[in-house]
Amino acid sequence: MSADAQLFDEHFTVNELDHKKYVRVGRIKATSTVDHSVSMLLDINTELYPLAVGDNIRVVLATSLQLDGTKDDTKGWRDANRVGLGGEATLADMFDYVCHGKIYRFEDQENSDLIKAYVSFGGLLMGLEGPYKKAHTFKS
C-alpha cells in the first residue's frame, strides 16, 4: 500500500471489553503492543468480529482503500471491488474487519506532546491518544 495513503499503523492489545450499552457492539480499551505509548477506545461489532481481553489487533487508518493510494471519490466504500468476485485487490482484502469513517476532532494537550484524535464510523466511535510523532499525520 502506498505510504502516502497510510496515516496510522499500530498493533494493540485489548485490555478491556465492555458490552454494557449494546449486545452486538462492545467498546474495547487497548494499548499499543510495542511501547504502550498509544491508547485506543473503539466501538466494534463483536458479532461480526469477536474479541476478548488479551487479543492482539492491528489498526490501520488510511485515506484510500486503493493499494496505490489513489482516491476515487465517485465510489463509496461499499463499491470497493472484492478479489473473490473478480475485482481488483484493495486494502480491505488484507483485513477481517474494515470501517469507513471520518476523523472529526483533534485535541492537543497543553504542555505535552500528546494528541487525541476522534473518529466516527457511522455511529461507532474511536478515540486514539498518543505522542505527536505517531499521530501527527492525522491532521494533514
Total number of domains constituting the chain: 1
Distance CA(105)–CA(27), nearest Å, equals: 19
pLDDT for residue 28: 97
pLDDT for residue 12: 97
Q: Would you say the C-alpha torsion 82, 4, 77, 9 has a positive or negative sign? A: positive
Least confident of 36-40, 54-58, 84-88: 84-88
Q: Which run of H or of E encompasses 134?
A: helix 132-135
Asked if the structure places residue 135 within a domain, the reply is yes
What count of other Cβ atoms lies within 10 Å of the Cβ of residue 57?
A: 20
pLDDT (tens digit, 9 = 90+) per residue, 100-122?
Answer: 888 899 898 778 888 999 999 98
The pTM score is 0.83
**Mean pLDDT over the full length of the chain:** 84
Q: Give me the phi and psi of 2, to 5 degrees please.
A: -65, 135
Asked if the structure places residue 72 within a domain, the reply is no
State the first-to-last Cα distance of the chain, in angstroms, to the nearest integer.
18
58: domain CATH number? 2.40.50.140
Asked if the structure places residue 67 within a domain, the reply is no
Q: Average pLDDT for residues 37-43, to the nearest whole number?
A: 95
Asked if the structure places residue 91 within a domain, the reply is no
Asked if the structure places residue 106 within a domain, the reply is yes
Distance CA(49)–CA(84), nearest Å, equals: 20
Asked if the structure places residue 74 within a domain, the reply is no
Percent residues over pLDDT 90 in the chain: 43
Asked if the structure places residue 87 within a domain, the reply is no
Domain that holds residue 11: 6-62+96-139
Asked if the structure places residue 39 within a domain, the reply is yes
Distance CA(36)–CA(30), nearest Å, equals: 9
Instruction: State the greatest distance between any 2 C-alpha atoms of the chain, in Å, as a whole number.
Output: 52
